[in-house]
Amino acid sequence: MTWDDLDTHLDRVLGTVSAYVGRLDAPPTWTRHPAAAHYAASTMKVAVLAALHRAAEAGTLELDAPVPVVNEFDSAQPGAPRFSCAQPYDNDDAVWDRLGGTASLRWLADRMIVRSSNLATNLVLGHVGLPAVAEVWALAGARNSGTGRGIEDFAAREAGITNTVTAADLAALLGALATGANTPGRLASPAACAAMLDVLLAQEHREDLAAGLPEGVRVAHKSGWVRGVRHGAGVVLPDDAPPYLIAVCTTTEPADGDDDACQLIATVSAQVWAARHQL
C-alpha cells in the first residue's frame, strides 16, 4: 500500500482523519490534514506531564513530595462552581483508592499517562496551572493546540473553553521530548525528557497505535478517546531503523464505534511500520 492508497482508504471514513509521520528533526514523510483541529481527549496529558517536570526543574514543585488526593477542582470558567471527576469514566482505580489520603506528584503523573487517570490529571494540573501547560505547547512549536481546562470541567466546556490538538502539534510535542532526551532541549533537561519518555513507554492502553506494531517494538505514546474521537501519537523506536514520529487523530461518526477507530489507527501504524526504512 502506498501513501496515496492510504489516503484513498482514509477518504472513505465519515469524519476527519489527520496524520503526521516522519523521522525526528526532519520534514514529515507523509501528512494528512496535519493542522486540522480535534478535541484533545487524553492526549493533552502529555503537555501536563511536561509542565510538571519543567516546574520540578525550576524548583517550584517537588516531584516526590506528598500532595492531598482530592476530587474537587477550580473551573477554568470564572465564577463557576468547583467541579469533580466521575469514577466510572476513569481508567485507574489505584488513584481513587488514595482519595482522602496523599500521593506524590510523580506517582500521579505516572498514573495520568500509564493508565490515563482523569483524577490524577486534574490533580497534577491543579498544581502546575494552565499557563504552564500553555508554555509547553508554545515551546514545542505547536501552532493550533492548547489546553484550556481540566477534564470534566463542564462549566468551562459549556462556555466554549476546550482542549484542542492537531496531528502536527502532537508530533512536535513528542518530537521535542524525544530529541531533548539526548541533547539540551526546548522543554526540559535530557534527564527529565528521558524520564518522561520512560513513562510514555509504559502506557498500558495499546489497542490503537501500538496494535499496529509487531510485539516487542518500543513506542513512547499516548492515546486519547471520547465518543466519536480517538487519537494515538507516539515515538516509535525500531531496532533496525531510526526512530520516527507518528500521530493519528480521528474525529468520526460515533456510530462507527471505538473498535473501528482503534483499528483505523492500527492500520495506519502498521503501514508506517512497513515503510520505516523509507521514512
Per-residue pLDDT of 17-59, as tens digits, reads 999 999 998 999 999 999 999 999 999 999 999 999 999 999 9
CATH of the domain at 24: 3.40.710.10
- The type of residue at 165 is V
pTM: 0.97
Find cell 462507527 and name the residue: 256
Count of structural domains, the chain: 1
Q: How many helices (H) and strands (E) in the chain?
A: 10, 10
For 196-253, the pLDDT digits (tens) are: 999 999 999 999 999 999 999 999 999 999 999 999 999 999 999 999 999 999 999 7
As a whole number, the mean pLDDT across the chain is 95
Angle made by CA atoms 253, 256, 259, in degrees to the nearest 5: 130
Q: Where residue 254 falls among pLDDT bands split at 50, 70, 90? A: low
Find cell 487517570 and name the residue: 117
Strand spans (E) along 160-273: 163-165, 218-226, 229-237, 244-252
Measured distance CA(187)–CA(84) in Å, rounded: 30
pLDDT greater than 70 at residue 256? no
For residue 104, what are the β-bridge partners? 66
User: Residue 90 is placed in which grid cell?
Assistant: 476513569
- Provide the residue range defining the domain that includes 108: 3-278
pLDDT greater than 90 at residue 258? no
Measured distance CA(217)–CA(170) in Å, rounded: 21
pLDDT greater than 90 at residue 255? no
